Amino acid sequence: MRLSRRLTLTATAGAVLLATAGAVTAHRLTDPARGLTAAKGAGDAHCRQVTRKAPERLAGKERRSVGLAGVVVWGGQDVILRCGVTAPTVTKDPCFEADGVDWVLDARQSTPERQVLVTFGRTPATQVAIRPGGVPTDEALLDLSHLVTATPKTDECRTAH
């Protein structure tokens, strides 16, 4: 009888431990801040304004709370905005304008799974990472460009030849 009870208690404890580990793993996999960090300049007043004015929905994706200064996430990291990143200088990467804001496609940080774009000529700079297929890039940039227009423009996008 004693052995049976000890086995039952051990099995119950094991099941509780396994369920707890499963819940922690599931939370980490769905955590919108998973793998993200705040940029060095995230505490800047312009970054606080950018994140405060960020829309609740972007290209059909719900804004998710991440608890990191200067960071906003929509969907399951379909779009990640990080304000306070280092501003790019003259670049070989493609530059383009969206709704009065110059953007650079950061080829070094972009991957087939994520396009990384950074504002040019605005300090602090804002980085937007977009999952292709998750949301239309042009729609997201048009919606986000108005957020950074209050950040003073100091330069126009210049590409190195």
**Per-residue pLDDT tens for 87-143?**
998 899 999 999 999 999 999 999 999 999 999 999 999 999 999 888 898 899 999
Amino acid at 8: T
Spatial separation of the C-alpha atoms in residues 119 and 38, rounded to whole Å: 17
Q: Are the C-beta atoms of residues 118 and 127 closer than 8 Å to each other?
A: yes
Q: What pLDDT shows up at residue 23?
A: 38
Higher-confidence residue of 1 and 110: namely: 110
Q: What is the pLDDT of residue 21?
A: 42
pLDDT for 159 equals 76
pLDDT at site 133: 86
Say if residue 124 is preceded by a cis peptide, omega within 30 of 0.
yes
Is the Cβ–Cβ distance between 132 and 143 less than 8 Å? no
Compare 27 and 62 and report the one with higher pLDDT: 62
Q: 142: Cβ–Cβ under 8 A, 6 or more apart, which residues?
A: 98, 99
**Phi, psi dihedrals of residue 15, rounded to the nearest 5°:** -65, -40
Bigger pLDDT: 30 vs 99: 99
pTM over 0.75: yes
3: pLDDT strictly greater than 90: no
In the chain, the largest separation of any two C-alpha atoms, in whole Å, equals: 83
pLDDT of residue 6: 64
Please report the pLDDT score of residue 78 as a whole number: 96
Residue with more model confidence, 25 or 99: 99
Residue, of 158 and 105, whose pLDDT is higher: 105
